Amino acid sequence: MVVVIDTEKCGNITDCPVEGLCTKICEQGALVEEDGQLVLHAEKCDDCDLCIQNCPNQAISKA
Ligand code: SF4
Ligand code: SF4
């Protein structure tokens, strides 16, 4: 399964209600901020699901 970001639900990281929490809890460094937007480096993701469980906007899911 591949983690997918819904960019509309996520919006800009500056608008994130938990201040970009997903980028901090991703131990693999697969979620990073680039130019204010959340970017996934899928090759680093180990499918731990922490980001999915902790995003208050339900902006991350698996496809
Ligand atoms: S926690 Fe959710 S809303 Fe916040 S930056 Fe991550 S994906 Fe976007
Ligand atoms: S599932 Fe885990 S490793 Fe993959 S992006 Fe989310 S927090 Fe990072």
- The pLDDT value recorded for residue 30 is 98
Calpha distance 13→8 (Å, rounded) = 11
Burial tier of 26 (Cβ tally within 10 Å: 0-12, 13-18, 19+): buried
pLDDT of residue 60: 98
pLDDT in tens, 6-57: 999 999 999 999 999 999 999 999 999 999 999 999 999 999 999 999 999 9
pTM for the model: 0.94
Closest residue (by CA) to atom 8 of ligand 1?
10
Domain 3-62 fold is: Alpha-Beta Plaits (3.30.70)
Q: Which atom of ligand 2 is closest in space to residue 49's alpha carbon? A: 1
**Residue boundaries of the structural domains of the chain:** 3-62
